[in-house]
A and B are shown apart, each in its own frame.
Chain A
Amino acid sequence: MSTPEHDHAHAPVQQTAPAGYYEIMETAVRELLIEKKLITAQEIRRQLEVLDSRNPALGAKVVARAWIDPDFRQRLLADGRKACEEVFDISFYDDTQLIILENTGKVHNLIVCTLCSCYPRPVLGLPPDWYKLKPYRARAVVDPRSVLAEFGTEIPADVEVRVHDSTAMVRYMVLPLRPRGTEDYTEEQLAALVTRDAMIGVVPVQAPRSAP
């Protein structure tokens, strides 16, 4: 079923700045959908608040808990989404599943979305631009060790590197190795060490500077 594209192609071309054109389109689409009662302004406002509430600090809390609580770790590895929902009250607003990939002395995990930009947004917020751009998406699946090297990460040759390609329905997050020298750390102190990039898998969690 096709609709005439002519009006669409011609009418809005009398715009000024190119960036303004797409902002105008976004505003117009949103307002039309609200006028037609297909969506509400309140839903947009609420979702903006949800987006603002999601950032890597949330994922870091999950990781820190998994490091100190073996039962939680098991639950998390069994069903990432359920564990995050039940224990941390994190809503999976995009209705995606979450698989937690545990790094070990033998396996290092890396996440990517070769087709677009799928990412564990409920726990990490929005992805960095480089995650969405061609070099990372194209190369991570075939040459992960040199991709990692560009992030300054060298994985020993006897450690397997596993790359996980995300989909619209299934998202991944890396559970990094707990660094040495953090045995006495509190959960909050541990969480503060965990970075977004460590949960993508491009860097390890760095040991604290005072560590032996």
Chain B
Amino acid sequence: MTATRNLVERLPNDIGGLPADAITRVEHELEPWEKRCHALADVLDFRKLINTEEKRAGVESLGSELVGKLTYYERWIVAFANLLFRKGHLIPSELALKMQEVEARLNGEKTGG
């Protein structure tokens, strides 16, 4: 058996049955953007733009490094962006421009008090 066999047989999300640490009963109140991200996921599903399984697979296809380092809703929004690019609903450059605009607006609001 080769050492990499488990990487072939299991994608990053497929962790059922693997050894793991003791459970720590962590919980947190969602931040407003996290809750909006959840609402966005539901609306994308209603509108048949991204369904639950596409979302799950989209998170998985981020790869194990991103899956491991990003928080739950960080993974979701990055996966949504990638899926929307792939489906032709968004273009990477337009998202980049929009993010610059949003950042300037949010930062402007902060400094302007």
Closest to B42 in A: A47
Closest to A117 in B: B72
Closest to A197 in B: B25
Say whether B62 faces chain A, with CB atoms less than 8 Å apart. no
Shortest beta-carbon distance, A199 to chain B, in Å?
15
> A116–B17 Cα gap in the complex (Å)?
14
Shortest beta-carbon distance, A169 to chain B, in Å?
8
Closest to A139 in B: B20
Check A136 against B23 for contact (C-beta < 8 Å): yes
Q: Which residues of A contact B52 (CB under 8 A)?
A: 94, 118, 168-169
Shortest beta-carbon distance, B79 to chain A, in Å?
11
Q: Which residues of A contact B92 (CB under 8 A)?
A: 3-8, 11
Q: Which residues of A contact B93 (CB under 8 A)?
A: 7-8, 11
Closest to A147 in B: B23
Q: Which residues of B contact A115 (CB under 8 A)?
A: 13-14, 16, 56
**Most central of B20, B53, B97 by chain A CB within 10 Å:** B20
Q: What 0/1 readout, one digit per residue, does chain B (31-62) give for beta carbons within 8 Å of chain A?
A: 10101111110111111010111001001000
Check B77 against A114 for contact (C-beta < 8 Å): no
Check B17 against A141 for contact (C-beta < 8 Å): yes
Check A8 against B95 for contact (C-beta < 8 Å): yes
> A4–B90 Cα gap in the complex (Å)?
12
Partner of B86, one of A1, A48, A128, A137: A1
- Interface of A, secondary structure class, is helix
> A137–B71 Cα gap in the complex (Å)?
16
Shortest beta-carbon distance, A162 to chain B, in Å?
15
Q: Which residues of A contact B96 (CB under 8 A)?
A: 7-8, 10-12
Shortest beta-carbon distance, A79 to chain B, in Å?
20
Q: Which residues of B contact A1 (CB under 8 A)?
A: 86, 88
Say whether A87 faces chain B, with CB atoms less than 8 Å apart. no
- Interface of B, secondary structure class, is helix
Given contacts A22-B74, A26-B77, A32-B95, A141 and B47 within 8 Å (CB-CB): no
Shortest beta-carbon distance, A46 to chain B, in Å?
9
Check A134 against B15 for contact (C-beta < 8 Å): yes
**Most central of A10, A47, A117, A134 by chain B CB within 10 Å:** A47
> A4–B13 Cα gap in the complex (Å)?
26
Shortest beta-carbon distance, A128 to chain B, in Å?
5
Q: What 0/1 readout, one digit per residue, does chain A (114-130) give for beta carbons within 8 Å of chain B?
A: 11111000000010111
Check A31 against B102 for contact (C-beta < 8 Å): yes
User: Residues of B with Cβ closer than 8 Å to A?
Assistant: 13-28, 30-31, 33, 35-40, 42-47, 49, 51-53, 56, 59, 70-74, 77-78, 80-81, 84-86, 88-103, 106-107
**CB pairs A–B below 8 angstroms (29 shown):** A3-B86, A11-B93, A12-B100, A20-B103, A22-B74, A25-B81, A26-B37, A28-B99, A30-B40, A32-B90, A38-B49, A39-B40, A39-B43, A39-B47, A39-B49, A43-B46, A44-B36, A51-B42, A93-B42, A118-B52, A126-B38, A128-B26, A130-B23, A130-B26, A134-B20, A135-B21, A138-B18, A147-B23, A151-B25
